[in-house]
Each structure stands twice: as structure tokens, then as C-alpha cells.
Structure 1
Amino acid sequence: KKKKTMHLTSQQQHKLQDANECASNSCLVMIGCQLLACVIIRHRQTLEDFAQQYYVIAAEIACQRSVQGKRKILRCCGPMVGASELAFRLTVRAFGIDLTWTPMIDADGFTKSYLYRKEMIQFHDNDPTVAQLGGRDRTNIIHAAKLLAQVDQVKAVELNCGCPMRCARKGRYGAFLLNEPDLLCSIVQGMRSALHGKALCAVKIRIYKNDPLRTLNLCRRLTSPQECGAQILTVHGRSVCKEHDADWNIIRQIKTVIPKHVLLIANGDVRSLRQLRLCAAFTACDGVMAARALLKDPESFSVPSDRSLPDSSIRGCALPPFRAALLYLKWVEIVGAPWQCIQRHLTEILERPLRQAPHLRKQFTTLRSNSSSANELESLYKALNALSLTIDSHQQDTTISRTQPPSSSSPVVVSVR
């Protein structure tokens, strides 16, 4: 096919491209007619099936038509409580992540407690970060934003209006602040004024359930320079109830109503590099955020050309989960991390290989219990490196035994009916 395409003239190539687009459009028109027929006969189940099929094909076509390389899509690692510490942020950045978020910082505790402030302000020159604030007290949030704007590595300060947890419901902050849009807009406006251009003003929200117009109006208010003036808007495509899949269609509509200078970051149902590109093409957003996918596999959005692995032993590691775990331990040795975070990350990253090799799970559990202090990280690093080599050789032996023909000395039994 490549050789034939090389001999085509430019006019013939344009005709071929137009024919491909017509074929794609005709496919969408055909499914659209089927959707209309389902609406007429009011067949709900068939309607949902065709709607899902139409949605997937439309996203695929949008992904094919997007010009790769001309539009930079920000790959973002979202905030996670007890998991977005500095060592993990530096780990995912080594695998191609462009922008990271801190765990949610309690604005009340940040302004009142020096110890809490010292614990949460952990940054690195190689990690330009968005600091996320949580709370509903306007005065404390503005004061905390001023303090964070003085840190050079903080490129933006974000108000969290997307947390659906019980503590957020009880304190009426996070996603439950969306029920008070006037207070929300007042807080964002105060943050924008307090930052004085030292850092960007950002907001993360969820959508309203079954109310797209209300969602669009709120996004218009938050990003309007005359009212709030937020410069980064992150939209999680689910409502607080979380009973449905992420709605990329509403994110696509939000992109059309906000100013062009505002960065729109899409969040929800993105677990691989292909889904990231699909989401970016369909929603026309400026960046895509993921959290749980990167927690289990820090290389989810990685391209080999983007990797910057400092250690030759890590670069030579053949198994991706162990490669990420070893790099994480290297950063823990340099910048430190709570042991609870170390235990959680190693358990999440190495869950799949340990499931494939159950006889090694007990050995890994013993390693974790014996290495309960940060002083023994070097021994844990060496043990995990040896463990990766063991699993790699075990997989190679299994592959060889499957492909190796039976020896001539072994008897061959043939059953005849």
C-alpha cells in the first residue's frame, strides 16, 4: 500500500483522502438513521446500543482526523490523597507526564499550622506542580493561595470542587461546593486577585447530574474574565453520584463556551495512551488527566522517546512494573516519603506480576514487613531488582518450554480410534 501511495499524484491523494472522509461520514449517517428509527419506535435498549456505537465511531474518526504532533496535549497526573507525594510525582514525570498535582491541601490547616504547612510544601525543581486547595472558608483559601504562590515550583493554585468523599460532604466543600455557585465564584475571584499573576488560577469541577445547561453556565461564569477569571479548568465527566461513565460530550460542549485562552483539562475514563488521544481528539481539550490508571501503572501514558530514566540498571529492566517500582524507590531515597505511601505504591504497581507469580507473593510480603524503616530502602531496592530478574527468567523459561519440540529419546504415544 505504501508503494502504491508513493506513485499517486497530489490530486489523486486528495481524492483518496476525500473518499476516506466520505466513507467515515456515511458510516456515521447510517448509524444516525438507525438511532432515529429507534427513537421513532421507542425501543430503549436498541437505542442505547446504537448510541454507544455512534459515540465510539465518532470518537475514532475524530482521533484519526486530529493532526498528531501539531497540537500538544498535556498529560496530567491528578491529585490523590496519600499517593501524590513528591517521590511519585517525580516518578511519573520520568515516564512522560507533563504536569502533576499535589494532594489536596486543607486551606484551614495550611494557614493555621506551621507543621502542616512544612509537611505539605515539598517540591522539586524538576517538578512544576499545581497545588490544590480544599475548603469553603474564603479568607483561609485566599491566604493559603498567597502563601503557595510564593513557591517557585507552584505554577498554578487550584480550588478543589470535585471531591465526592464523605468528609467533603460533611464539611460542604469539594464537589458539594457546586451547590453554592455564588460562594464558589466569590472564592475563585478572590484567589485570582490574590495570586497577582505569580501563579495561574485553576478550578476543578464535576458536572451536574442530568443538567448540562447548568454545567455550561457555571463553566462560563468561572472562566469569564469579567467575573471569576479562572485560567485552567479541569472537568471530571461524572457527577457526584458516580453512577455513570464519564461524559466526554459535555466536556466537548464546555470547550465551545469558555474563552480560548483558558486551558481545559478532561478527566474520567482514561486508562491508556490510546484512550488519552481519543479523549483529546473528541473533546478538543488542551490536556487529559488520570489518577488511578497512573497509580497502578506509572507508564500508562509513556512513549519510549519521552522516558528519562537516570539509572542504567533501571533502563535495562525488562519488566515495566519493576522498572517503575525501582525508579520510585530511587526517588524515595533522594526526597523521602512516608512508609504508608511506599507500601501503597509498591503494592499497586506490582499487583499484576505478583498475581502471575503467586509463589513470589510471600517473599514480597516478607520484604515489606522487614523493611519497615526508610533506612533499609537500599536492601529493598536490591531485593526487588533480584525479584524482577527471577520473574523475567521464569517467563523466558516458560516461553522456551512451550516452543521447544519434544526430544527424540522421549516416547511418542499415538492414540488410534
Structure 2
Amino acid sequence: MKTPQTPLAHAARLSVAPMMDWTDRHCRHLHRLMSRHALLYTEMVTAAAVVHGDTARLLAYGQAEHPVALQLGGSDPALLAQATRIACDMGYDEVNLNCGCPSDRVQSGRFGAILMTEPDLVAACVRAMRDAADVPVTVKCRIGVDDQDPTHVLPDFLDRVSGAGVDRFTIHARKAWLQGLSPKENRDIPPLDYDLVMAMKNRAPHLHLSVNGGIATLDQAQTFLDAGLDGVMIGRAAYHDPSTVLLDADARIFGDGTPGDAVQIVHAMLPYIDAHVGQGGRLGQVTRHMLGLFQGRPGARLWRRHLSEHVHEDGAGVQVVLDALGHVTELAA
């Protein structure tokens, strides 16, 4: 049985990973201008914060961001159900449960990667979330944690959680070492096992499986898609070098459109920046996500330096961005 191709599943052919302190609404607006089709994820938000905190601030997003998914952290089925219902009421296209984050904070809160050791609890969580949702509920996980054997743990995890009704998973193809490695080290040191992720797809072709971890280019992404995986999630490369990853994504991955241009993207961001600053926001809240737009191009260092040096000045707004852009366009002339 083939994986069902819904519009959201099609968008998941290429997604930008949820990244703490990075994929906020300003970042997602930029990324959406660069790709009309890629699936975008929020930073992880705890279910408790959604239910008991400043929901309007935590879950704010722009309508232009669709398709956009909210990633939740938590392990209380009832609380996750409440947060899922709120997300649906706010119009999110998908709710994703984090079973992959390795930070100390999520371990103490009994969510994130530690949930790889409790697949039955994850199944209970997603069952409650699905009962509360009118949009897809998905899971992002690792291949295992600590001394677990991924060849046994991952298929069992997928079986139990898919048995609760989830049919779309994103698998970070590394173990998470909760003892002895920092969150940063967990993104690089544990070896990648792409073959295991592919084996899971061959074992359960009805599941929609995306691979994540160490993928930096569209060439790599296309290789995984050609091999039979349903989707590819790119994280840090999409943030630090968004032009390389996203400007050509619609044409190459989705077969729709022509490659974009980073200079045009800067101009397209100006009305958004002007509105944000006009509402009392700070220029740097937006432009910090734009620093990598010209990565590898002449003028990139001057672009970054000009923005970094001038965003904090009184009255800083679109003119600072245009002046920074001038360093790039002058060298390209």
C-alpha cells in the first residue's frame, strides 16, 4: 500500500525543522517568501505553556506562513489534547509531537527524546491529540537513545505509535545520548544511520517517513526522495544558508516555479520589516534571520556586518537593510 498523498503530505516532501530560538514567525515569513510549498515548523512549545501561558504570543503566526505546523513538547495526554485543540482553533495545519529533543530541560520534563523509551506513553499521547484534532498529528523522533539498539527500538516505536493512528513520522537518523553529550553535541557526534530510516520505509511502506539529520543541500534531499522516502527535513543548513536550500526548492522538489533570487527576497521582506518596526518591534528581531541570505556570495560579509552594526541604532528600519544590500549589489555590478 502506497503512502497517501494529501496536500500536507506533499508539502512535507521538503520541510524546515523546528529549531529553538530560530524558527520563530519572522524566520518563517522569510522562508515562506523563498518557498511557497515547503512545510514550515514552529519552535517547540510545551503543551503546558500553550494551555497555561500567553497563548496568543506563543502561537502567533502570519497567514502567509501556511502550510505551517506547531511542534508541541509534553507527555501528559490530557494536556497535549488541550494544546492540540487550541492549535487547531488557531488554524495550524498540523500538530507535531517532539520525541527527539535531547536537552536536559526536556528530560526533566519527561518529553523530547526520553520518550523513545516509552512508546506506549507516546501512543497514548498521540491518541489523545488525534481525538482533539481536526488536522494531522505527526511525530518527530530519533532512532533511539543511549544504549538502546535502534534496529529493535525504532521499528517497535513506529509500530506502537502508528497503531494509535499516526501515519507520518520525521526520523532524525541519529541516536540521542542523554548521558554525556550536550544538545549541541547530539546534533553532530552520534553517527547517522540513513540506511535504518530507509529500512523502516521498506518495512512499512504505508507510513509517510521523512528523514532528518546532516542534510544540507537539495541534491542530498533529492537523493533520499529518489530512493523512496516520502520527505526530507532540513535544519541548520536551511537557517544558515537559506538561499542554497530554499530558493530552488519549489522548482526542484515540487516541480512548480523557477528559482528565486536573494536580492528580490530582501525587497519582498521590506514591507514586513516596515510593519514590524512600525508596531514597535525591533529591526534585529527580523534581520537576525536574514544574515545568511548571501552566504558564499561577494558582499556577504559586508551584508552581515552592516546589519549587525546598525540594527540597534535609534530609528533603525528598512533603510538599514537597503544600505546593507547595497554592499552586495555594488559588488555584483
TM-score higher than 0.5: yes
Structure-1 residue corresponding to 2:5: none
Q: 2:96–2:138: 8 Å Cα contact kept in structure 1?
A: yes
Deviations 1:294-352 (A, max 9, x none): 1012221432855689xxxxx7x6xx4x5545544543335677655435323344565
Does residue 332 of structure 1 match 2:273?
Answer: yes
- What are the within-5 Å matches in structure 2 for residues 131-150 of structure 1? 131-150=70-89
**Which residue in 1 is equivalent to 2:137?**
201
What does residue 188 of structure 1 align with? Answer: 126
Partner of 2:6: none
SS in 1 for 2:229: coil
Distance 2:282 2:71 in 1: 20
* CA drift at 1:276: 0.6
2:237 matched residue in structure 1: 293
RMSD: 2.9
1:251 is aligned, of 174, 179, 197, to 197
* Residue correspondence of structure 1 range 80-91 to structure 2 within 5 A: 80-91=19-30
The Cα of 1:200 is off from its aligned counterpart by 0.5
Higher percent of residues as helix: 1
Gaps of 5+ in 2: 1-9, 178-185
Higher alpha-carbon Rg: 1
2:151 touches 2:196 (CA, 8 Å); kept in 1?
A: yes
| Residue 344 (1) aligns with residue 312 (2) | no
Residues 1:233 and 2:177 are matched in the alignment: no
**Distance (Å, rounded) in 1 between the aligned partners of 2:200 and 2:125:** 21
Aligned match of 1:369 = 312
- How many residue pairs were aligned? 301
Q: In the aligned structure 1, how far is the partner of 2:216 from the partner of 2:283?
A: 27
Contact 1:88–1:328 (CA<8 Å) still a contact in 2? no
Which residue of 2 is the match for residue 266 of structure 1? 211
Structure 1 position 250, deviation (Å) = 1.1
- Structure 1: how far apart are the matches of 2:93 and 2:215? 24
Higher relative contact order (CA 8 A, sep 6+): 2
TM-score, normalising length from structure 2? 0.79
Q: Is the 8 A contact 1:157 1:199 kept in 2?
A: yes
Provide closer, same or farther for how the CA distance between residues 378 and 73 of structure 1 changes in structure 2, counting only shifts above 3 A. closer
Structure 1 runs of 4+ with >3 Å offset: 116-119, 304-309, 322-341, 346-358, 360-365
Percent identity over the alignment? Answer: 22
Q: How far is 1:118 from its partner?
A: 3.4
TM-score w.r.t. the length of structure 1 is 0.64
Cα contact 1:108–1:137 (8 A) shared by 2: no
**2:39 is the counterpart of 1:94:** no
Q: Are the aligned partners of 1:146 and 1:194 in contact in 2 as well (CA < 8 Å)?
A: yes
Offset of 1:76 from its aligned partner? 0.7
Q: Confirm or deny: 8 A CA contact 2:283 2:311 kept in the other structure.
A: no
1: CA distance between counterparts of 2:173 and 2:104? 20
Match of 1:279 in 2: 224
Counterpart of 1:111 in structure 2 is 51
Structure 1 pair 183–286 and aligned structure 2 pair: CA distance change class (3 A): same
Taking the TM superposition and a 5 Å limit, the aligned residue runs for 1:368-387 are: 368-370=311-313, 376-387=316-327
Amino acid at match of 1:379: Q
